[in-house]
Amino acid sequence: MRILIVEDDIELCNAVKFHLEQEGYTVDTCLNGEDGLHFIKQEAYDLILLDRLLPELDGMDVLSRTRALGITSQIIMITALDGIGDRIAGLDAGADDYIVKPFDINELLARVRAVSRRPRQWKSTEIIVLDNTELDLMRCSLKGPSNKCTLSKKESELLEIFMRNRGCLMPRSVLLSRVWGPCAPVEDGNLDNYVHFLRKRLRFVGSRLFIKTARGVGYSMEVKNA
């Protein structure tokens, strides 16, 4: 699961990032509301930890604009404002949970686990089955009717997106953001290389799935006719 922390307290931001990464999450950070909204618009995150009081753009503005864009990432508001009216305002604006500073890191981790269990578009499960092909996300393995093979973590993440969105054209920018992160120093050609690897893996296991290219736009997952 990929998490974004939008928090202007650098020490707190780094501490929370450290503990989340120890739990196995992929974490990005930014220190103001404008950058936070820019990251969020990439639709690369399953969960956002959003401070209420931010420079450049207030956390409530970030929250309301995020929901207005139709982005469904889970959002936990983090704030020093502990009034009941503040909590209600945040939840009514679209936050999924609310935690007040100072907080115990174990409580935050518990809230992250709880929120991540709620269903959403990118909800992660251990095994995805599509047509005659099975992807095991925990083991990073691919199984078809004639064989099975292991995948790299990036291959597994990319194939997960394709399999969960069968028939949908996935833009290159979305794929790069979801797998490598919005600001990762990755060359555009890396995506093409990974698609090439996945096509070889799918043929190897005898899958009827194939990745179709929309030149200059992106890729989609399709199923060959029997």
Structural domains of the chain, ranges and CATH numbers in brackets: 2-116 (3.40.50.2300), 127-223 (1.10.10.10)
pLDDT value at residue 122: 44
Confidence of residue 119 (pLDDT cuts 50, 70, 90): low
Rounded CA-CA distance 58/162 in Å is 35
Q: Greater confidence, 7 or 122?
A: 7
Of 93, 97, 90, the residue nearest 118 (C-alpha): 97
Give the residue-averaged pLDDT of 56-75: 89
C-alpha dihedral, 50 to 54 to 57 to 62, nearest 10°: 10
Rounded CA-CA distance 129/41 in Å is 29
Rounded CA-CA distance 64/92 in Å is 10
Of 206, 25, 50, the residue nearest 133 (C-alpha): 206
pLDDT value at residue 41: 85
Confidence of residue 189 (pLDDT cuts 50, 70, 90): confident
Give the residue-averaged pLDDT of 60-78: 89
Q: At what angle do helices 153-164 and 188-204 cross, to 10 degrees?
A: 80
What mean pLDDT, rounded, does the chain reach? 87
Please give the helix or strand (H or E) that residue 115 lies within, else none.
Answer: helix 105-116
Please check the confidence at residue 219 and state whether its pLDDT lies above 90: yes
